[in-house]
A and B are shown apart, each in its own frame.
Chain A
């Protein structure tokens, strides 16, 4: 049972346009959400995060939106650049007792930005 779902395996956009990557979750205990970017033959790299007490977090060209009632978050990249072509993973974090936390990952969305 996947608790974090990225329903689009791939997305293709034109350079300069907006890329919107979506993520849905099922567990209401998740209180912290992260987006990671992954290039081939490298490990995932942290991109941006959002706490469940917020509905928006912005960092340069990257903005994450959280809709708690819909259990949905999205990552907006604007303007998209060819170097943004990568696999984007959504991850959700929940406490597991004490100071420990567990991160649950989506399957990723492969973004291709065409020049």
Chain B
């Protein structure tokens, strides 16, 4: 039973395209997150939603737009992809002060 699942696992696309990454959690958690892990392996928070409400929005280009249709889903849409967007994107969820549970990541490569 996958607790936090993201799709697709791999995404190869061209510069300028628009793409979406989906995330779903079946843990009943009320908070979901998107992280970016860059080439230096640094995990950086991008967004956090609590019960479908945006609570953390770090300095991220507005080409990145999260959407939470319900508290079990947090999707990430990226417009006009750039070379620097190449990274691994992780979705996570948590409940209260409990630990965050992560998906296995989406490896985005921009050609």
**Considering only CB atoms, which chain A residue lies closest to B33 in the complex?**
A103
* A-contact 0/1 string along B87-106, CB 8 Å cutoff: 00010100011011111110
* A-contact 0/1 string along B1-27, CB 8 Å cutoff: 000100000000000000000000000
- Complex CA distance for A103 and B21, rounded to whole angstroms: 22
Given contacts A89-B43, A96-B56, A105-B43, contact A49 B99 (CB under 8 A): yes
B109 at the interface (CB under 8 A from A): no
Given contacts A100-B55, A102-B56, contact A44 B43 (CB under 8 A): yes
Interface of B is mostly: strand
Query: What B residues does A65 contact at CB under 8 A?
Result: none
Q: How many A residues touch B, CB cutoff 8 Å?
A: 22
- Complex CA distance for A34 and B97, rounded to whole angstroms: 11
Given contacts A43-B92, A96-B56, A100-B50, contact A105 B102 (CB under 8 A): no
Extra contacts, 14 of them, besides A43-B92, A99-B50, A107-B40 (Cβ < 8 A), are A42-B104, A42-B105, A44-B43, A44-B90, A93-B97, A96-B56, A100-B48, A100-B50, A100-B55, A100-B56, A102-B45, A103-B100, A107-B41, A107-B42
Interface residues of chain A, those whose CB is within 8 Å of chain B, are: 32, 34, 36, 41-46, 49, 87, 89, 93, 96, 99-103, 105, 107-108
